[in-house]
Structure 1
C-alpha cells in the first residue's frame, strides 16, 4: 500500500510536466511539421534586386510562386524561450516533489515502535507481560507506575512474613504478582528530612530508568501513595552481600571462587558507570548492603539515591555515605571523584577477603576500621594467610590470594592518585574467576 502511494505521487507530476511541455512546444512542432508551400522553393534573398515588372514575361507571371522571407533568428528565439520555460517548470516540480519526500520522511513513524529507547537501557520486556494493563497506572519516562492496590495484594498487605530485608532507607518485601513472577518491593521510610527523602527517591527512579547493565539491578516500577513511596525491583533471591557475609550463615555460601565472581561483577558494574556512561556516573554509596545477589550469586549494584555525575563532582558536595566506606578526601574535604568509588570497592573487597565488617566496635568508645587493621598485615605475606576469612582459608591458590590482597591495598590508598582505575581492577580479576562464573580461569 505504501509503495502504491509513492508511485501515485510520482506519476502525477510527470504527467503534468509532459502536458506543459506539449502545450509550450505545440506551435513550434506544428510549424515544423506543416511548413508553408513557399518555403519549398528557394526564397529570394533580401539583398537581391527584383527586376522591373515590365521585364517579366506575361506567360510566366501566372506560374510564379509567392515568395516570403523567413527570419530564422525569430524562430530560434521562440525555441529558446520555450525550452527555458519548460526547464524552469520541470525544476520547480522536481523541487516540490523533493520537499514532499523530505517532509514525509521526517514525519513517518517506524514500523517497529518501541516505547522505551535503547539509550535509556531499561528493558522491561517479559516483565511488562506480568504487569497487566489494568494494574499499571502510567509511566514516568521509561519506568512503570504501578497501582498501589496491586502492591497491597502482592505483598499480602506488607505482611511481616514477606519482609526479606531491612535497609537504612526502608524495608524490602517479597511480592508475588502471579504464580510465576516475584519481585522485591521497597517501602521507603517517611521519617527524616522529607526533602532529602523525596530527592533521593526521584534520583533513584531517574538513574535506574536510564542505566541498564547486567551488574546493575533493574527497577521495574514505582508507586506513590499519599506520603509513602515504593520502589519495585527485580527479585534478588540471595539477598545482599552484607547479609551473606555478616548474617547467620557468616559467608558459608560464598566460596573463594564465588567471592572472586562477586568482586568481578562489582568491578564490571562500576566500569560501566565510570567508563561507559557519558557523563561518568559516581555511585557515591557503594557498600556491601547495596550489593545484591541473584539466585546464581551474580552481584548487582543497587540504591542510586546518592548517585551523581563527574560534572557535578568538580565542586564540593554534601557529605554522604556509610561509615567505613567513605574515602578520606571526601570525608575531610568533600572532594568526590570516581576514585571515591574505587576506595569503597577496596573496602568491600576486604570484607570478601577477611570476612569482617568495615567498622567494628572494640569498646563502648572505640571503633576500628578494617582498612587500618588490615593494611599492615596485607602487605606481609607471612601474616596474610592467617587473616583470611576462616570459611575460605586454605581453599585458594596463594598466588591468587597475594594478587587480590595487592589490589585491595591499592584501592584503599589514602591518596586518590595512587588508586587504580576501575578498568585496571576489572582486568586483574578476570584471570582469577572460572570461565563458568564469567572469568577466564580454567580449572
Structure 2
C-alpha cells in the first residue's frame, strides 16, 4: 500500500451534514445495497474528549494492541466506544484509513458499525457502536464476576456469526476483503453474546494492487503460507478461523505459555487428538462439565480440523463452514441421538466424504 495521506479524508462535519453529504473527500461513495445507512461522521478531538470526560480512567473499557478504548456519550446521548490509536503517525494513519474505507463500504449484522473518526492534528481516533459484552477473549477466558460461562449453544452461535461475517467479506463485499489478522480479539459481543467482527486495521482490500509484502498476523493464528510473499488468500482467513473455533471448543488460548511444554500451542496440542480420532471429548472445555451434545462436538471438531490444514487448497470455503456451523446452532440443545443424519448434514455442507 502506498504511503498514507490522511488529507484525503473529508473535513470535519456536523453528523447531520455528514449524512447528507454522503461521505465526500477521499472516502468511497455509497454503493447501493452494499453500504451502511449513513457514512461515518468526522469528529473533533474536543468532541470526543468531552464524550469521555477527558478520557478519564472511569471511562476506560480496555487496552488493545492498537490503542485504548473508552466508553463515551455523544452530545445527542448515544453511547459509543472510542479508540485512541497508538503508534507513530504513519501507523495510526494507515489503521484509520483502512478501517474507515472498509467499514464505510460494509453493512452486515455480524460486523461492527463505525460511527465516525477523528483526524485532528496528529491525533487519530475511531468511534464505533458500543457493544456491552466486550471482546470475545475476555468473555471466553476471563469472564467478569457475575457473567455466566459461555455454554455450548452460545459458542456455536458466536462461531456461526463470525463465519457469516467472513463469508460476507470474501464473497459479497465489494471490494473483496481478506481480514488477514482474524483472532478471538477480532470479535466483539453484543447483548445475548451476538458476535460482530471488529479491528479491520490490518485487513487487505483486494482491489488495491502492488501492496508491498508484509508479514501480518498474530502468533498462533497465522496460516503457514502467510510468511511467503504473494501467498496470502481468503484461505488464510480460514486457518485463523479454525484456530478461533478450537478456542471456543476447548476454552484454551491459541498460545499459552503457562501450559506444560507440548500443550502451549493450541493447534499442535489439538492435532494429536484430531489425528488419532480417539478421546475427542477430552478436547472440550472442562468448565462446560460435559454439558454439550457429543455429536455436535465431533462435528465442530471436524470443521476445525479442515480449516487448520497446512495446505490452503485443502481448506473448505467459508460459505460451507458458515452453513455447517449454522446447522450446529440449530442442534445445540438437541439430544445426541439424531439417527445419524447430523454427520451427513455437516459433511455435505463441507463437501467432505
TM over 0.5: yes
| Partners of 1:310 and 1:338 within 8 A in 2 | no
| Partners of 2:158 and 2:193 within 8 A in 1 | yes
| 1:169 is aligned to 2:83 | no
Which whole-Å CA distance do the structure 2 matches of 1:366 and 1:392 have between them? 23
Match of 1:123 among 37, 43, 60: 37
Question: Does the residue aligned with 2:245 lie in a helix, a strand or coil?
Answer: helix
1:155-198: CA deviation from partner (whole Å, max 9, x where unpaired): 01101011111100000000022585211000111x34x32331
Match of 1:373 among 246, 250, 269: 269
Query: What's the counterpart of residue 187 of structure 1?
Result: 84
Match of 1:285 among 167, 176, 181: 181
Q: CA 1:202 to 1:314, structure 2 compared with 1: closer, same or farther past 3 Å?
A: closer
Q: CA 1:363 to 1:373, structure 2 compared with 1: closer, same or farther past 3 Å?
A: closer
Match of 2:219 among 323, 326, 340: 323
The correspondence of residues 139-218 of structure 1 with structure 2, limited to 5 A, is 142-177=39-74, 180-189=77-86, 191-192=87-88, 194-218=89-113
Query: What's the counterpart of residue 403 of structure 1?
Result: 299
The higher radius of gyration belongs to 1
Which whole-Å CA distance do the structure 2 matches of 1:398 and 1:195 have between them? 50
How many aligned residue pairs are there?
Answer: 307
Higher mean C-alpha deviation, range 233-242 or range 388-397: 388-397
Q: CA 1:147 to 1:435, structure 2 compared with 1: closer, same or farther past 3 Å?
A: farther
Match of 1:274 among 170, 188, 192: 170
Query: What's the counterpart of residue 17 of structure 1?
Result: none
Higher mean C-alpha deviation, range 240-249 or range 308-317: 308-317
Q: 1:372: Cα distance to partner? A: 0.6
Query: What's the counterpart of residue 90 of structure 1?
Result: none
Q: 1:257: Cα distance to partner? A: 0.3
Q: 1:323: Cα distance to partner? A: 1.1
Q: CA 1:423 to 1:364, structure 2 compared with 1: closer, same or farther past 3 Å?
A: closer
Query: What's the counterpart of residue 121 of structure 2?
Result: 226
Which whole-Å CA distance do the structure 2 matches of 1:355 and 1:388 have between them? 7
Q: 1:223: Cα distance to partner? A: 1.0
Match of 1:247 among 142, 159, 176: 142
Q: CA 1:312 to 1:246, structure 2 compared with 1: closer, same or farther past 3 Å?
A: same
| Partners of 1:165 and 1:173 within 8 A in 2 | yes
Question: Does the residue aligned with 1:303 lie in a helix, a strand or coil?
Answer: coil
Which whole-Å CA distance do the structure 1 matches of 2:112 and 2:120 have between them? 23
| 1:351 is aligned to 2:351 | no
Q: 1:433: Cα distance to partner? A: 1.1
Which whole-Å CA distance do the structure 1 matches of 2:93 and 2:262 have between them? 35
Q: 1:316: Cα distance to partner? A: 7.0
Query: What's the counterpart of residue 427 of structure 1?
Result: 323
Higher helix proportion: 1
Which whole-Å CA distance do the structure 1 matches of 2:243 and 2:312 have between them? 14
Which whole-Å CA distance do the structure 1 matches of 2:303 and 2:97 have between them? 35
Which whole-Å CA distance do the structure 2 matches of 1:392 and 1:363 have between them? 19
1:364-422: CA deviation from partner (whole Å, max 9, x where unpaired): 99983210111111344542112211222411111111000000000000000010000
Which whole-Å CA distance do the structure 1 matches of 2:194 and 2:213 have between them? 32
